[in-house]
Amino acid sequence: MQKQKIGYVDLSTGEIQTREIPEIMRRKFLGGRGIDMYLLYNHVKPGCDPLGPDNVFVASAGLLSGTLAPSCSRFHVGAKSPLTGFIGSANSGGYFAPELRFAGFDHILVRGKAKNPVYLFVNDGTIEIRDASQIWGHDTIETQELIKEDLNDQQVKSICIGQAGENLVRFANVRTGQKNAAGRTGIGAVMGSKNLKAIAARGTLGVEIAHPDEAFEVYEKMLQVVLRSKATRAIQEYGTMVTFNTSNTSGQIRVKNFMTNTLEDSEQLEPEYFYENYTIGMAGCFGCPIHCRHKYIVPEGPTAGTYTEGPEYTTLGAFGTELYCKRIETVLRGNHLANMYGFDTLEFGSMVAWAMELYDRGFIDDKVTGGLKLEWGDEDAIFELVDQVTFRRGFGDILAEGPKRAIEKLGDETAYYNINIKGMSNLHSDERAIPSFALGIGTATRGSDHLRNRPVTDLFNLPKKVLKDHYGFDVVNDYSAYETKGKVIWWHETYNPITDSVGICRIATITFSLNRLNFKEYSELIRVMTGMEFTPEELQQIGERIYTTERLFNIREGATRKDDYPSERYFKEPTPAGLPKNRGKTIDRKKYDMMLDENYAMHGWDKRGVPKKETLQKLGLDKEPSHII
């Protein structure tokens, strides 16, 4: 197996060290998210300030990034989250991850703080700290071009922060390309706190394939697994926006923050409208056959006429449904600004929607907002807040703090209206009619989240035999049911860490279709690409190990069972709209506790959500932190 390396960079001292990754660590955590979670648990000082020099920032490529594995382009970033105070973790596609591996590294760990702005240049086995004083202050698109100019190489690939990260907005993200964003948990603010503007990579070392002849055969087979799905064909045409139609009609989205759950007269937000009127082509990430990224020209505002890409389904909610905006032009302009400035659209949309509901209900007024009239759908106010949040001015400076700290500033009585878990806002999704989704956002290790464990196929009413063959246990095939859903969420919590650790995009996985890449396919891909052999059962245990490591990190930082519940409104306010099956729904607290107990038991945790001693021994985590790497 090809030797793979970690680079350790101390920005306070300028010291750089390089170490090989022992095979034992590959067999326990694979790579990407897996090894990053190990590094954070071992290197982050418990109780440290997330925006202080003792926090650690990690960036990595997936185990299979740069190989023939389809849709395998993902990079991962992590730190102690400045938004939640718990595990910080996010990933994204594009071209950076393969380039990092071509440059000779799989993981970069950064500690300390530079005196002045810097960026890292990773090139054919070396890491250099370079001056970024002339790049600081530029947006993410400009930054990537300026780095190419500085290095006199147009093939350089970078991950970077924009002005939101520089100004320590607690939901700043890490960006690459036109639209790819590692968006959640505020990792961009951690980079900003370290005066780290970017990591650039350029490599010619390549990635060794263990069984090259067989790899082509396996690639062709896996390519067909990905492409044969009807879900793939729909996303190829409309991108992730394709799910808006059914979610909105059925009453599974948040409108006006949490005041209703269907947006009427939403024709302009439908993917068909955008595709027919604004899409000028589709783009893809490294090695991806799906091509889900829309290309478009920004239609309005100071950046009108600019080429960019997107938006994703989640941005339709952030600049559309949550804020009661019905024009696609609003969403497209907001998408581009978020990409430029480098902030999480989900968090921004939720924070502004919360503020608008507070304004609507009289909890805050013009004195608090600095004269801004936060009325539903007011685009001028929304884009003024984009500027205020990014540059931490006026009322936007409060919203830039995220849910926990903004609630402290605006009063405890405002907490009820903020839709967050563990201090991270939910996307524009309303899970009150779908208990499995509600449990998923509750237990997700990084906060309210749809990418850690969401069983989208729970909505499809698949035959029970199909579900049993897939999960390995009986599943109730009614999405409104509570029974067996704790087990279902557990399964996805052990599956998705593998996806993120090998570096494959969710869209190519079983997220939207059970007929796509699963543990069995991952086993085969890993074998032909790396030479390491795992059974599907061994991979699932690795997923369990990664997820439990994240749980241990959170417990060490003070997380308890109470942090695994949705907002109170889920239990108290019935859904007012949507399909008959979805109307009048709340989450039943007793049944939710039943699901939570079931989920904990499947993980081998006690009823407090604390991993049992025998579980840690079984997973080889009983002696962590071990500081092997």
Domains of the chain: which residue ranges? Answer: 5-202, 214-425, 435-619
The whole-angstrom separation of Cα 356 and Cα 4 is 49
The string over 7-28, giving b where at least 16 C-beta atoms fall within 10 Å of a residue's C-beta and e elsewhere, is bbbbbeeeeeeeeebeeebbeb
The whole-angstrom separation of Cα 185 and Cα 211 is 38
- Which of 339, 272, 280, 328 minimizes the C-alpha distance to 300? 328
Q: Which residue type is seen at 592?
A: Y
Q: What is the pLDDT of residue 232?
A: 87
Structure tokens at 142: 């400009």
- Which of 478, 532, 61, 137 minimizes the C-alpha distance to 341? 137
Task: List phi, psi (to 5°) of 624.
Answer: -85, 145
Q: DSSP alpha helices (H): ranges in 557-620?
A: 569-572, 589-603, 613-619
Give the residue ranges of the chain where pLDDT is below 70: 1-2
Strand-strand pairing, 75-80 and 57-61: antiparallel
Question: What distance lies between CA 23 and its chain's CA centroid?
Answer: 27
The whole-angstrom separation of Cα 508 and Cα 136 is 36
Q: Which residue type is seen at 109?
A: L
Question: Does residue 51 contact residue 193 with C-beta atoms inside 8 Å?
Answer: yes
Q: DSSP alpha helices (H): ranges in 62-139?
A: 96-102
Q: DSSP alpha helices (H): ranges in 152-281?
A: 163-166, 187-193, 212-227, 230-238, 244-250, 271-277
The whole-angstrom separation of Cα 316 and Cα 303 is 19
Top CATH class of 214-425 equals mainly alpha
* Order of strands, sheet of 126-131, starting from the edge strand that comes earlier in the sequence: 126-131, 118-123, 196-202, 157-160, 174-176, 180-182
Q: Is 263 exposed, middle or buried (0-12, 13-18, 19+ CB in 10 A)?
A: buried
Top CATH class of 5-202 equals alpha beta
Q: What is the pLDDT of residue 237?
A: 87
The string of DSSP letters for 37-59 reads HHHHHHHSPTT--TTSTTS-EEE
The string over 444-460, giving b where at least 16 C-beta atoms fall within 10 Å of a residue's C-beta and e elsewhere, is bbbbbbbbbbbbbbbbe
Which residue carries 């086995």 as its tokens?
125
Structure tokens at 307: 């080429």
Strand-strand pairing, 75-80 and 157-160: unpaired
The whole-angstrom separation of Cα 77 and Cα 302 is 31
Top CATH class of 435-619 equals mainly alpha
Question: Does residue 332 contact residue 318 with C-beta atoms inside 8 Å?
Answer: no
> Which residues, other chains included, contact 142 with Cβ-Cβ below 8 Å and sequence gap of 6+?
none
Task: List phi, psi (to 5°) of 196.
Answer: -100, 105
The whole-angstrom separation of Cα 531 and Cα 539 is 15
Q: What is the pLDDT of residue 2?
A: 61
H or E, element range at 201: strand 196-202
Q: What is the pLDDT of residue 359?
A: 98
295 forms bridges with which residues in the sheet?
A: 281, 309
The whole-angstrom separation of Cα 354 and Cα 415 is 10
The whole-angstrom separation of Cα 272 and Cα 275 is 5
